[in-house]
Structure 1
């Protein structure tokens, strides 16, 4: 990275950091889901591993840009209930949050990051569908549509 980053590079770093924050929350959330539900434990562990891989990829992208990756929070919001329905809805929200972060990342000029964002948005959408979400017309947009 140059001594003075361009506005495009600043935007890429900010979007990477936001996606990394979403991945940290997903990792924490799936650890909670896996610990609380026998019915969804195996699926939660598969998704936990997917999010760990994405976290590592985002951290590497930031380090490559000489940016310090944000640290994980010490705690994240968790559902008040731990029945299967509440945990399933929580998993859908985790995937919607990561999808939104990747939608933001897809707006950066760097083609490699846009590719990463598109693939990650697609994966988050598929994971949310597996957890029982309805397919939104525009995955990643809050409310499933621009301006919703």
Structure 2
């Protein structure tokens, strides 16, 4: 048998190199395109870890004799619901339900601070996760902000930048953005009715402040739509109220209706806006949820997301 020539060795070496480049590491089929990185699972695990810290703090406080159970237990129940839904999206075996032990017994102000910090942490990297998870995290963050307010923390939640991902196109975001703008047009009109039926007291002052905030947000969405090369939906000449408003109680009920409608619009907007703009929608969701709470809306664990 003739020994292999140098040309044969070179050919064999080239074949081996080509095989190494194209074969699957397991050797059973050609390798396909590299799958995109899974950013949802790490984000869910971070959110679950933050939720577990809150559960530990609530559990510690609830063991204290004379604890404000009527205040703390519903907030703790909301937090447990957050965890249950966050765990559902994990692709592998879910972490068992637990609460992270807290080294020292927290006070109510410390618990409120932890709720606010958790609200902020849920929004970190909001522009990097999938739209459904972004919507969920925005709603859970809004709920944490509501908890912080219920516990006495009035410090505004800081919203981080949204990043630079553009997985969602501007054109796809326009319908939801128009819906949010229409809801703001209605809110601006509705708060005029609300303020007209309130006595000249702090409630009317609050209505005026909120009215101005909705005008500012309406203007911001109009500018964004123009930047997206879409004509903003104009305000109607008038809006039909969902029920007659003739008293302060009915005025407060109308404010709840307006803000609750807005939370739904903004939860939807989080899923459709390009990633850099998601925090703006999450902020609007949180602010509407806080306004609704101040006007007497019933508590919900996931503002903007129907049960």
- TM-score range (shorter-chain normalised) is 0.7 to 0.9
After superposition, the C-alpha distances for 1:102-148 in whole angstroms (9 at most, x for unaligned) are: 01100025122211110000000000001111221110124xx2xxx
Are the aligned partners of 2:270 and 2:278 in contact in 1 as well (CA < 8 Å)? yes
**Selected match of 2:290 from 126, 130, 136:** 126
Distance 2:234 2:277 in 1: 21
Are the aligned partners of 1:37 and 1:82 in contact in 2 as well (CA < 8 Å)? no
Q: Secondary structure at the match of 1:136?
A: coil
- More displaced, 81-90 or 123-132? 81-90
Q: CA deviation at 1:43?
A: 1.3
1:81-120 aligned at under 5 Å gives the runs 81-108=245-272, 110-120=274-284
Q: TM-score, structure 1 length as denominator?
A: 0.87
1:1-148 aligned at under 5 Å gives the runs 8-38=169-199, 39=201, 40-78=203-241, 79-108=243-272, 110-142=274-306, 145=307
Are the aligned partners of 2:177 and 2:225 in contact in 1 as well (CA < 8 Å)? yes
Spell out structure 1 runs of 4+ moving beyond 6 A.
none
Unaligned runs of 5+ in 1: 1-6
User: Aligned pairs, how many?
Assistant: 138
Distance 2:257 2:172 in 1: 25
Are the aligned partners of 1:17 and 1:69 in contact in 2 as well (CA < 8 Å)? yes
Q: Return the structure number with greater helix share.
A: 1
Distance 2:293 2:197 in 1: 21
Are the aligned partners of 1:99 and 1:124 in contact in 2 as well (CA < 8 Å)? yes
Aligned twin of 2:162: none
Q: CA deviation at 1:98?
A: 0.8
Distance 2:172 2:255 in 1: 28
Distance 1:88 1:112 in 2: 34
